[in-house]
Amino acid sequence: MKFGYFLNHNNLDGQSDFTTVLENGRDIARYCDRNDWDAIWTTEHHFGHEGLEVNPNPIMMGVDLAAHTERLRIGQAASIITFRHPVQLAEDVALLDHMSGGRVEFGIGRGIYPRETVNMNPAADVRNPEVNRALFKESLEIIREAWTNEFFSYEGEHYRFPQPGLTFDHPMSPPQPENTDETGHLSALSLIPKPLQQPHPPIWQVVDTEPSIRSAGEMGLNAMFWIPPTDALLPRFEMYQDARSTAQGHEAELGEGVAVLRDLFVTETMQEAERLAGEGLLTYIRWVCNYRGLANHRYPGEELPETAGKLDLLSYEWLHPRNMLFGTPDYVAEKIAEMRATLNLQNLLLWSSFPGVPHEAVMNSITMFTEEVMPQFASSDTTSDARGAR
């Protein structure tokens, strides 16, 4: 099994200066790099004055983390491709791939919060999911085309490359049939550089809903899940497996090309995990679920009771058995073993640097997990490497 760390930078109520936020993240990355973790993943959020999500650019953050590590793979969970110009994003990720020595995992998403999507790109407004999904698909197609072809062209609803009627008359760049039509106008462009990994870095989509799960499988993307309990993840894994199998023309195994993110805090006792990090995680879950609700935390077939408030059910006791890896090394190892047995899980991402939790406690938890839990899941089996999906 492969283990990745999810570095969701936060700075609740501005308690630390941003330099400290960055250095704490580097500290985690350096430790993981030295201690056999597979990857570190950063995320993208904007306008977060509350301090719960404060990294606006996972590509730039990846450049910094790559400079402080040697072997750790550098992922985004996720780059919101509907916010950015697709050619510039393709260039940026290709540059990061070279700067990191071919260590990039390209994670992508459509955006979650209207405050972000509308203001970063009105066409990405998640309140209009049909347009948002079309923009996402178009942006991904452009990035793939630009990465995998010496010259590329594209014509869609939102983008067109190259722009029609354009000539490039320069003695050091004579017209050639690959990029110039019979009228002398540019017909194709070339992305420089291409990624170091060929044909391109592995691509992951953060998914949750049925359309996103099926679409990721159909487009040959790896899939990344977060909240649902293990038993509720199984039908989602099977849905993705069916779509992936159809797309690749042969049967994909359950768990192939899939990663799950879980919230982690390992301590000597169950009570200590709750005391040190329980409120920090609940603070973040309140932030997310005030927008999303609690339905995604349900067990299969479970109906949540009606309550006056959206989050009245939410408590540490309610949440813990559903998807939290909080507790002793033995407890956490048991829950991971259940996930592997039920889902054939091959890639597990873990987050422990919750809002308001002291950095020293975070590092102690990561260290205990690394020393006492990870060795129980050493990669001695022959399961597929999800990194092979392109």
Q: 385 pLDDT band (50/70/90 cuts)?
A: very low
Contacts of 63 (CB under 8 A, 6+ apart): 96, 99, 100
User: pLDDT for 339-380, tens place per residue?
Assistant: 999 999 999 999 999 999 999 999 999 999 999 999 999 875
Q: What does the buried/exposed string (b/e) look like for 185-210 if buried means 16 or more CB atoms within 10 Å of the residue's CB? A: bbbbbebeebbbbeebbbbbbbbbee
Residue 226 sits in a domain of what CATH number?
Answer: 3.20.20.30
The whole-number pLDDT of residue 223 equals: 98
The whole-number pLDDT of residue 387 equals: 45
Q: Is residue 274 part of a domain?
A: yes
Q: Is residue 342 part of a domain?
A: yes
Compute the average pLDDT of residues 294-319: 97
The whole-number pLDDT of residue 386 equals: 41
The whole-number pLDDT of residue 295 equals: 96
Mean pLDDT of the chain: 95
Q: 233 pLDDT band (50/70/90 cuts)?
A: very high
Residue 110, φ and ψ in degrees, nearest 5: -100, -15
User: pLDDT for 186-214, tens place per residue?
Assistant: 999 999 999 999 999 999 999 999 999 99
Q: Is residue 114 part of a domain?
A: no
Q: Is residue 50 part of a domain?
A: yes
Q: Taking Cα atoms as reference points, which of 215, 324, 308 lies closest to residue 270?
A: 324
The whole-number pLDDT of residue 297 equals: 98
Residue 242, φ and ψ in degrees, nearest 5: -65, -45
User: pLDDT for 3-37, tens place per residue?
Assistant: 999 999 999 989 899 999 999 999 999 999 999 99
Long-range contacts of 186-191 (CB under 8 A, 24+ apart): 186/162, 187/153, 187/162, 188/151, 188/152, 188/153, 188/162, 189/87, 189/146, 189/151, 189/152, 189/153, 189/161, 189/162, 190/150, 190/151, 190/152, 191/87, 191/90, 191/91, 191/94, 191/146, 191/147, 191/152
| 175 strand-pairing partners | none
8 Å CB contact between 266 and 329: yes
Q: Is residue 263 part of a domain?
A: yes
Q: 390 pLDDT band (50/70/90 cuts)?
A: very low
| Domain hosting residue 209, numbered range | 2-104+205-388
The whole-number pLDDT of residue 120 equals: 98
Number of domains in the chain: 1
pTM beyond 0.85, yes or no: yes
User: pLDDT for 131-164, tens place per residue?
Assistant: 999 999 999 999 999 999 999 999 999 999 999 9
Compute the average pLDDT of residues 254-277: 98
Compute the average pLDDT of residues 89-101: 98
The whole-number pLDDT of residue 383 equals: 38
The whole-number pLDDT of residue 343 equals: 98
Calculate what percentage of the chain has a pLDDT beyond 70.
Answer: 97
Q: Is residue 123 part of a domain?
A: no
Q: Which of left, alpha, beta for 23 (phi over 0: left; psi -120 to 50: alpha)?
A: alpha
